[in-house]
Amino acid sequence: MCIFCQIIANEIPAEKIYEDENILAFLDIHPNNFGHTLVLPKKHCENLFDADEKTLENLITIVKKISLAVKSAVEADGINIGINNGEAAGQIMPHLHIHVIPRFSNDGLVHWPSKEYGAGEMEKIGEKIREVIKSS
């Protein structure tokens, strides 16, 4: 059983802040800012891509509710919401979870650096993605 499934099963402790039949939310043990929360489906799936649509609809609704609660509780100025899908994207825990990270105007956290497209590259990648969407 994965560590998050063990938290769901109450086999290891966590600072839980929300629970219903399908969803659990608890504080991240190594927060980017205090109040950083993880929201996850109780049904084990590895990442966004193997979660079923109904689970995802439910999850995003609860993420909104929890984000507003976290924002209010820690008096945050903003909230980052993110999912790391796959090792290359920084996923460490192999059970889908959504990060709800409170942000403060002066918290000093730095966003990812951006890149510049060369001539024609943006259009080429846009076309490739449109093709995949069309054939899916």
Phi-psi region of 59 (alpha: psi -120 to 50; beta: other; left: phi over 0): alpha
The residues pairing with 41 across neighbouring beta strands, listed in sequence order, are 23
Closest alpha carbon to 35 in 84, 82, 68, 83: 68
Contact partner, 5, from ligand AMP, Zn ion, none, Cβ < 5-8 Å per class: Zn ion
**Shortest distance in whole angstroms from residue 49 CB to ligand AMP:** 14
For Zn ion, the closer of residues 40 and 101 by Cβ is 40
* Pairwise CA distance, residues 101 & 119, whole Å: 36
Out of 23, 28, 51, 63, which residue is the one contacting ligand AMP (CB under 6 A)?
A: 28
Contact partner, 66, from ligand AMP, Zn ion, none, Cβ < 5-8 Å per class: none
Q: Does 95 bind Zn ion (CB under 5 A)?
A: yes
Contact partner, 95, from ligand AMP, Zn ion, none, Cβ < 5-8 Å per class: Zn ion
Q: Would you tell me which residues interact with ligand AMP (CB under 6 A)?
A: 3, 14, 26, 28-30, 38, 84, 90-93
The set of catalytic residues is 97
